[in-house]
Structure 1
Amino acid sequence: MEPSFCGWYFKVQSSECSLALIPAVHGSAEESAASLQILWGEQSGVVPIPAVRAAVNWASPRVMLGENLFCPHGVALSVRNARWNIQGVLRFGPLKPLHIPIMGPFELMPFMECSHRIASMKHRIDGTLFINGKFVRFENAEGYIEGDKGCSFPRECAWSQCFFPEGSLMLAVARVPVGPIAFSGVIALLQVRGREYRFASYLGARLVSVRAGRVEIRQGCLVLIAERLGQAGQPLNAPVCGGMTRTIRENLCCRVRYQLRKDGFILWELETGRASFELEYPC
């Protein structure tokens, strides 16, 4: 088989708890495999799954990993190994997908090292999980779903996501190789009070700077800034040529400051301690 990976990222967040579940299939010419990565508070880990017991759908967030099921209506978990014991069901309210794919025309480009898809910016979650001896209840919690597919995760990338009462936000920048050259790809979406601000390379967005945990992008007269106010987070595995051989770090729940400016004036700003942030750029 050609080196490849395909996976979905399910984020679940209540006022007391943050949880991310990343089911994926991945493989190279030598072997195929599957895994469920888990981020829970300050803990992270990987549960390997036999590839013969795994299936993933790229058209919608549907994954089967052994006894664990993920779909647009919720997840059913049954995880048991030396480190993790997770049992339970989470039910999703109606998902909030995008009317236009976040990657726009780039979604159709065959040369992309990694394609990105958003299945829901913000939806309701209810249910109870038993996690390592603790009952964790999610009542009117918030959820976010995105997916990645390709051969390798971007060598340089930054990503952030957060919920807030008036809406939600996601931002991603990455080094995108095209043959012997590369460019900085940008996608971001801010939904606030019924209005949507979309940043994308195909709309003229560009990366201004990445330094010291701060990402700034610009599109015309609009500037969007995300700044992590803390250190790097928990380790996760990322694919290289289909194999999960690279380690990256993600803060599932940390303090981040956001700001949207237009012609120098602040249109929207937020500082929250419940944002997710990932940064894989050289200092």
Structure 2
Amino acid sequence: MSGQKGFEGWYFKHQKGDDMVAFIPGQAESGAFIQLISQEGAQQFEVSNLTIHDDMIRADQCCFSGQGCHIELPGVSGEIAYGSLSPLCSDIMGPFRFFPMECRHGVLSMAHTLQGCVIMDGHLHSFDGGLGYAEKDRGTSFPRSYLWMQCNAFPKPCSIMVSIAHVPFCGVSFRGCICAILYQGREYRLATYRGVTIKSFSPEYICLSQGSLLLELEVAPSRTGHPLRAPQCGKMSSTIRESCNVHLRARLWKRGKTIFDLQSDHATYEFVPNHGA
């Protein structure tokens, strides 16, 4: 991977009830890799060769695409097929996709059905009838401080992705927000480029207002989470922590009328505080 500039990584999440596993293939200036995170913990695997062709990511003996994934890793194997993906109507970055950015985020699918299983350390994890989510990032570094959360395991068809981050931009910086909601087939989006106001922001509570929309997210995050490597200046030299199966209550209003009030115990969550750097 000597010619790789910056980093590029994908996040393929698979959830069925309390069972969750996500695979994170990627490449950076420090080499190619696959990371795995589940409710049991996180693992990192070095990869000798990663290629991308016709939206197929091949990382040694593993393959990832919009159709599913094939896994052959030490102590981990399996195959999961994906149903029809649910992409957003347009790029989640909005007009910021045209500018140089420290990190560009992309949502590949808010929700899709799963069929298949993964065997980890001799234990079979079946995801038949479960739900998946997929996204990607590329750039040089993750934001120095940010919150990211995703959940699509609700009592009703609903998928939420939200990220609030410190964004350096053209010599200045600001707190940016991207949030996508797919509820019963309809997309709602709250974002900095659409005039969102971050009315409240803490690790446990987020309140966003945009036009006639008001979103409240109440979180009960794990205080530990599992360690994942993260990019810094093009190399996977930083560490973040991701929590699985976090409790989330999500409420969305439009013109004061409740669109939904849903709860889940299966959100994934990352929070990197600002240490005043």
Query: Following superposition of structure 1 onto structure 2, how do residues 1-283 of structure 1 map, counting pairs within 5 Å?
Result: 3-27=5-29, 32-50=30-48, 53-56=49-52, 60=55, 62-80=56-74, 85-109=75-99, 111-163=100-152, 164=154, 165-232=156-223, 233-282=225-274
Amino acid at match of 1:238: A
Greater alpha carbon shift after TM alignment, 230-239 vs 182-191: 230-239
CA 263–94 in structure 1, closer or farther in 2 if over 3 Å, else same: closer
CA 212–162 in structure 1, closer or farther in 2 if over 3 Å, else same: closer
Paired residue secondary structure (1:139): coil
Greater alpha carbon shift after TM alignment, 262-271 vs 129-138: 262-271
For residues 246 and 59 of structure 2, the distance between their equivalents in structure 1, rounded to whole angstroms, comes to 29
For residues 4 and 79 of structure 2, the distance between their equivalents in structure 1, rounded to whole angstroms, comes to 34
Cα-Cα RMSD:
1.9
Superposed displacement of residue 93, structure 1: 0.9
Superposed displacement of residue 3, structure 1: 4.5
Paired residue secondary structure (2:130): strand
For residues 142 and 98 of structure 1, the distance between their equivalents in structure 2, rounded to whole angstroms, comes to 17
Greater alpha carbon shift after TM alignment, 18-27 vs 264-273: 264-273
Paired residue secondary structure (1:202): helix
For residues 56 and 118 of structure 1, the distance between their equivalents in structure 2, rounded to whole angstroms, comes to 18
CA 13–226 in structure 1, closer or farther in 2 if over 3 Å, else same: same
For residues 170 and 95 of structure 2, the distance between their equivalents in structure 1, rounded to whole angstroms, comes to 18
TM-score (norm 2): 0.91
Paired residue secondary structure (1:105): helix
Tell whether the 8 Å contact from 1:184 to 1:206 is kept in structure 2 after alignment: no
Instruction: Tell me the number of residue pairs that the alignment of Structure 1 and Structure 2 aligns.
Output: 270
Tell whether the 8 Å contact from 1:3 to 1:243 is kept in structure 2 after alignment: no
For residues 199 and 139 of structure 1, the distance between their equivalents in structure 2, rounded to whole angstroms, comes to 32
Superposed displacement of residue 262, structure 1: 3.6
Greater alpha carbon shift after TM alignment, 239-248 vs 157-166: 157-166
TM-score (norm 1): 0.89
Paired residue secondary structure (1:140): coil
CA 270–185 in structure 1, closer or farther in 2 if over 3 Å, else same: same
Superposed displacement of residue 264, structure 1: 4.9
Paired residue secondary structure (1:152): coil
Tell whether the 8 Å contact from 2:88 to 2:107 is kept in structure 1 after alignment: yes
Amino acid at match of 2:241: R
For residues 140 and 269 of structure 2, the distance between their equivalents in structure 1, rounded to whole angstroms, comes to 23
Paired residue secondary structure (1:126): strand
For residues 268 and 186 of structure 1, the distance between their equivalents in structure 2, rounded to whole angstroms, comes to 21
Q: CA-to-partner distance for each residue in 1:176-230, whole Å, 9 max, x for gaps?
A: 1013310111111111123221111111113233224222222123222222213
CA 212–101 in structure 1, closer or farther in 2 if over 3 Å, else same: closer
Superposed displacement of residue 263, structure 1: 4.7
CA 219–122 in structure 1, closer or farther in 2 if over 3 Å, else same: same
For residues 68 and 216 of structure 2, the distance between their equivalents in structure 1, rounded to whole angstroms, comes to 32
Amino acid at match of 2:44: V
Tell whether the 8 Å contact from 1:18 to 1:40 is kept in structure 2 after alignment: yes
Tell whether the 8 Å contact from 2:221 to 2:243 is kept in structure 1 after alignment: no
